[in-house]
Chains A and B, each alone.
Chain A
């Protein structure tokens, strides 16, 4: 079957079961799984993936990066006498499928040489099903001229003042077709489309560099929608504000250090949730399988149901079922159906993101959070949509500011850092405003805040209501060895935290 030629990747979901091509590959993969069963493996699964992506970066007057990528291949995962092996190949031919299955078994047998405790999978039922993203405008059918026109129109506004040294805009699109098969009889096909875009302005004066990004930093916002999502971001309409704020930051006072009440808007709170709620609730981290790389977690299994993670208004859910989010899917990469489940309830830690291997350790079933970046990676426990639930009382961001006597409002992440147990964090933001007597009184630059995760979430005394709640897509969450980048998302509304350490202690 040809792979990565641009022909296969244009197929969409209904053709996955068409004659030839994928049908042949599916037969070979099923035959390989049958051979592995006959060879006495406990379990095996096969994933075939075909992804088309497009990335455009424009900087000042130039196209700094313009590329399309086709990526296609398959991976076979084997559980042999309770030990894992995985092998993957970019060549989906019958001979390669057979050879790759043999290699996966050889690798599993090597793992078995050091086994101390055999892996046992949970009883999650094997699914036969399909899932596809709903969208209006296929971004791969939109002309490149139209995309470039939009980005350059936004950049033209950003560059209208010479103080802006760098104006940048970017768009990315991904179409992923996936097939999952297992020796338990699972057969799942999924077609997922993702789109995202953003702009940023960098102002430089002497030794001062200030940046404003819209709708957020690190490439912008992403959703499981078509090109209509990019147009809905209104990059052009927001460019002038970004330009003016970047320039104004050069003249702004530095954010003063000290303990302050802090309002975090949703473009920054999304990363706070990601780093201090999402990662520490990955059960593989808590069990030590990431301890030599990404790190462990302070949320150890003995704390489930007992540990006060945050204040009573803090409710955090894992939810892979939100339509249009890049943290959503029909089935995870173990074939487990997407779910919504509590992680923090009324401030108490109650659950993890889990897999079929790890959930039984807690006497539970998988929460459906095993995800692999591509065909050549094994699935790991990854974030899905990890959402801070909105407040129940009516409360807009303006209401929250009006309710704050003295404080700092911060927006848009600039720098992020957190320790290996996800306790001590420090975030830098692009912009802040001082609040006095319920009003924004002045802009501040270089805001930094720091804290200890449970103390910080324990100080949360207000969360804005659903009208301010928004799901942000992050397409660049890193984890694992070899490193994998995952598309995840978080629903958040602005929130207030009391007595937070702002600035850097000297």
Chain B
């Protein structure tokens, strides 16, 4: 870790020496470690240290971006000159006015010393205990365990100076038997808050259920989708529906339909970095404070997220969702949350007369028909047939093809408990399990 003072000092000096009308610098750096295992042994183990600075300059309404991986002042000043050279070529961007001015932000709690100090040997020792836990049930374990620490800073020539340190610890446990697999995972900024034994026990118990898989006839079933399924769907919705580009261009189902109903009354989707379950980066990559944005409220389309440029284009207000400088994707929500309900997975199973419990989705694709949010994907890591309120048996993985507008209009129950799902420190989803009526399955995994 380089530290707030030193990073901001260097960035401030570079902005002061930049030849451009306006300059914006985004610093991202740190160490990230990851241990991967399969068959209850570590097979990959890596550690990476990087320092990345995005230099965006403005000349009038023209913008240029150059990214380098150094924090050396002289190199960054030269980079600003290169960015300015780049900015002189494109046409003016009529929607760019100036880089944002300071708007203040409140730090979130994202840095924990225990995570920063968690060494490779500590990850290996943790895994040894989990491998032993699995061996007692005759199972082997695959997955990944990552820890890391990093810093994000944004500084511009209009006075914005934002800094946030982050740590992250994430573990995925995939027990494997000859008959099937399961998966559970945990994420926290604070590694000491993860109950590894409990996460492993949950996965191991589910794996012992996932045997004697039977092939189910295709068609519509009531489904209980566990949180990771929804997280994959939400990731696609963030690209095809809740981002600024799809809204402005008209490919989003919200375009021209704000205030109209697209989902059930019990569905509320919002973007937030301050949830009881997780906190995120409190500002965007322009240093503007991230606002809590309601996207769908009780099934009604309420809005999308914007950065300063896309907000000008849409004649809306920026919401603090700027992506990295130079990105062509516009503003994207990174912290999608589905409002909790008052049920539980156990209660949902008990209330289900005939349906499927789905642990995970795999390889979802949302480009089939974005206006309908039509998506396809597979089930993975355990799919179970429910009859008469009880799990009857495991089933072979199924392909589903379904409009998410239709599915999220058919939500019968939502769990009160939510899970944080992420593969990194900056973006995450906070999702409960949901019970959906008449979900469409269109294929099966078989040779």
Contact = CB atoms under 8 A, between A and B. Distances in A.
Contacts of A418: 363, 378
A379 to B, nearest CB: 11
Nearest to A454: B447
A148 B47 CA distance: 40
Contact of A117 (B35, B41, B181, B364): B41
Interface string A240-283: 00000000000000000000000000000000000000000000
B327 A452 contact: no
B67 interface: yes
B127 interface: yes
B82 A504 contact: no
A83 B42 contact: yes
Given A107-B46, A110-B42, A90 B368 contact: no
Given A419-B363, A448-B368, A454-B447, A289 B36 contact: yes
B176 interface: yes
A428 interface: yes
11 contacts: A65-B326, A65-B329, A66-B65, A88-B48, A110-B35, A110-B121, A148-B89, A166-B251, A298-B447, A419-B445, A482-B34
Contacts of B174: 291-292
A69 interface: yes
A66 B36 contact: no
Interface residue tally on B, bucketed by range? 35 or more
A380 to B, nearest CB: 8
Contact of B125 (A113, A166, A450, A506): A113
Given A107-B120, A292-B172, A452-B447, A114 B127 contact: yes
A446 interface: yes
A204 interface: yes
Contact of B64 (A66, A73, A148): A66
Contact of B86 (A116, A144, A378): A144
Given A3-B69, A5-B70, A111 B89 contact: no
Contacts of B378: 417-420, 424
Given A148-B89, A292-B183, A426-B399, A111 B172 contact: no
B8 interface: no
A62 B445 contact: no
Interface in A287-333: 288-289, 291-293, 295, 298
Contacts of B45: 83-86, 107-108, 110-111
A505 interface: yes
A423 interface: yes
Interface string A54-95: 010101011111111111110100000001111111110000
Nearest to B366: A415
Interface string A321-347: 000000000000000000000000000
A117 B43 CA distance: 10
Given A106-B120, A415-B376, A505-B443, A70 B38 contact: no
A428 B367 contact: yes
Interface stretch (B71-79, B105-113, B154-162): B71-79
B78 A5 contact: yes
A67 B366 CA distance: 27
